[in-house]
Structure 1
């Protein structure tokens, strides 16, 4: 067992001053057991905890470290920007340059507004969609996570055609009544919901490739069907590409699948690891945002110069080096194929979903296509696998219901190291 005495000590201190000892719930390791590790530094493909242990990082800050940690191009950009002040509270040229770059890369975005987090982006996009359409209701998919905005913290209730119920204290029943739920990958169900609420639905929002019930891909024709449905009913189609934007392709999942939404939310990679978010879309929709239009949204630190510098450096590097996408996709495929073979040889009930450099090893023999099939996983088996991998220096997402992300810093040698660790971990599951 690793000596994690320093992490444990820090966690005990944290619990006295931070709810649950962490600033985001999944970090608490509740789903996998034990105490969380507190990280001290990171470089390239590695994390280093407060006790000095090295780990191969398989989550990369939940996606944005696509080039690996502390990439020199990003570091130098942030250092240069810092010399001019970390914040102005006034417009800067970098914000315009970032907006121009996003508009040039993302098919759906003609205008974009910078914010400070993915949650801010999705909350704002839904508000704008409501203002633009004059309607109140939205449709979200079971298992898709769009941040902690009130409209998104809604459980499934008794079925796809029922109103949602609040999934967290503090979310009002009135808010829940305006959020309708549908199963992911079920076009017929969502068509029924829209028909039942004809003329009342402002927006349909979804992760085009889900990352928050594990990695789940859209089935053939699903995204195209949603696009057609929204066109027929004048509904704003919103792709939440906070995870997938600039990771699956320069233009995100919408480029990969050839389906253009009306609005897109972004985050993660566009900040190069710094806190950032954005929402954008068709010009006529975005012109409803204040001060151009009546829908109010503001933020003191929006367009922060450090985040803009980091994001610009990251996006320009990816634009200049398209081979990054080929590399991370190839490394992920090699890893996934190796894991699939190991699972088969070990006789473990498991299946793997992969889209590009995103993947999830699900401990179930079901093909995971939606939230119901995702819930068939053996979470105890995943927890045991997680801990066995951690002891061998592989840092996985500390939840079965999360995607993992490969960075460009991962090479064949590290893939072999991960697979060696996995072989031993699977052998411990019995």
Structure 2
């Protein structure tokens, strides 16, 4: 497989872009080798600068749920752009988008559009603090909510502790207001609430943790968080930037039947364009400026091109329930086929799957939090990643990222992925021998 053009572009990029990439995981540092530079995509496939084709199992980290270059989305973008890409003023499209989100997401009564998932989570935290008059938040080890200062906090010693910043530039003061608990551990959350009575403004959680590599909530976990928040006057925030509109028309909250006070959204609602949103109970959302005193603004918020693309996707998802059945079927077939190949070879592994999200963990432990996720053999994953790439299957270049499947995958594509998986495992076993 010739990737000379990608190699040349990466060398150019490193001279003018930190690390040669505009988002760290793209640099392939966790898996070795050089990143591929993508030229175009269509349906289930990516094409790099050298013309190599790959079956895409990331789909822009989630947004391309119906596949790349989906015709209704492209047409909507072209129509909107022809009227000018931006106005900095209200538009009909953003009203229609807000109405559609409110109609689809069970807990959302009002919504504010922003430009990224990070903006959405930062804004939701500020809103929760403004609404409650409290300062501290609880987040979970291994859950990623963007690169806001409040979220770049690693767990300290012990099961539940005040965090310490794990990125230069995050101040100790910010870190002190972020409390860390292990994912799927309600007792740790209860201990923090008891330790800081009436000081916690919000609990923010990925209902399915996509940044540990697809980690599912234990039965009763999300409802337990809901009950604790109700009892102690804490705002419960579901970060559904990944799971929103992917696991069900109403996201993970619809699938699990547990409803937060605030929800953050992104990815799918932009159809591939930069976008984010946060929404929830009217009583809370009306505290946002100009209705209330919690300030948040953005020149490109509600951008007409992004709204047009998102509307095309969401309308299709709302009107065609067969899409979710198809996504479930794709996830099931990949899970069963890949799991079977792992079992045949007696390798240590765990597979997690929900809907069209899944992952292979090279560990014999059940993966239910960040500690168990970190038990994976990262060198083995790196070999697996490269072996899959050589066979034309493009995975997330990190053990700690979920696969995101699209409805564009054909039966032939599914079988190709399973066979590539089997051949990649054999290659790894032979290298060990």
- What is the TM-score with the length of structure 2 in the denominator? 0.99
Distance 1:81 1:128 in 2: 31
Residue of structure 1 in register with 2:334 after alignment: 335
Residue of structure 2 in register with 1:400 after alignment: 399
Alpha-carbon contact 2:160-2:182 (below 8 Å) kept: no
Residue of structure 2 in register with 1:372 after alignment: 371
Q: Find runs of 4+ consecutive structure 1 residues off by over 6 angstroms.
A: none
Alpha-carbon offset, residue 160 of structure 1: 3.0
Residue of structure 2 in register with 1:158 after alignment: 157
Distance 1:220 1:332 in 2: 21
Q: Could you report, residue by residue, the CA deviation over 1:201-228 in whole angstroms, capped at 9, with x for unpaired residues?
A: 0000000001001101111100000000
**Structure 2 residue matching 1:157: 3-state secondary structure:** coil
Residue of structure 2 in register with 1:124 after alignment: 123
Residue of structure 1 in register with 2:14 after alignment: 15
Residue of structure 2 in register with 1:79 after alignment: 78
Alpha-carbon offset, residue 140 of structure 1: 0.1
Distance 2:187 2:162 in 1: 17
Asked if residue 133 in structure 1 is aligned to residue 162 in structure 2, the reply is: no
Distance 1:4 1:346 in 2: 31
Alpha-carbon offset, residue 159 of structure 1: 1.9
Count of matched residue pairs: 429
Residue of structure 1 in register with 2:346 after alignment: 347
Distance 1:157 1:419 in 2: 40
Structure 2: give runs of 5+ residues left out of the alignment. Answer: none
Q: Could you report, residue by residue, the CA deviation over 1:119-165 in whole angstroms, capped at 9, with x for unpaired residues?
A: 00000000000000000000000000000000000010112332100
Distance 2:25 2:365 in 1: 25
Alpha-carbon contact 2:161-2:181 (below 8 Å) kept: no
Distance 1:257 1:161 in 2: 25
Distance 2:266 2:160 in 1: 31
Asked if residue 290 in structure 1 is aligned to residue 299 in structure 2, the reply is: no
Structure 1: give runs of 5+ residues left out of the alignment. Answer: none
Distance 1:319 1:282 in 2: 22
Asked if residue 388 in structure 1 is aligned to residue 387 in structure 2, the reply is: yes
Alpha-carbon offset, residue 420 of structure 1: 1.0
Distance 1:322 1:203 in 2: 34
Q: Once superposed, what is the RMSD of the aligned Cα atoms? A: 0.5
Alpha-carbon contact 2:208-2:215 (below 8 Å) kept: yes
Asked if residue 112 in structure 1 is aligned to residue 102 in structure 2, the reply is: no
- What is the TM-score with the length of structure 1 in the denominator? 0.99
Distance 2:217 2:162 in 1: 24
Residue of structure 1 in register with 2:5 after alignment: 6
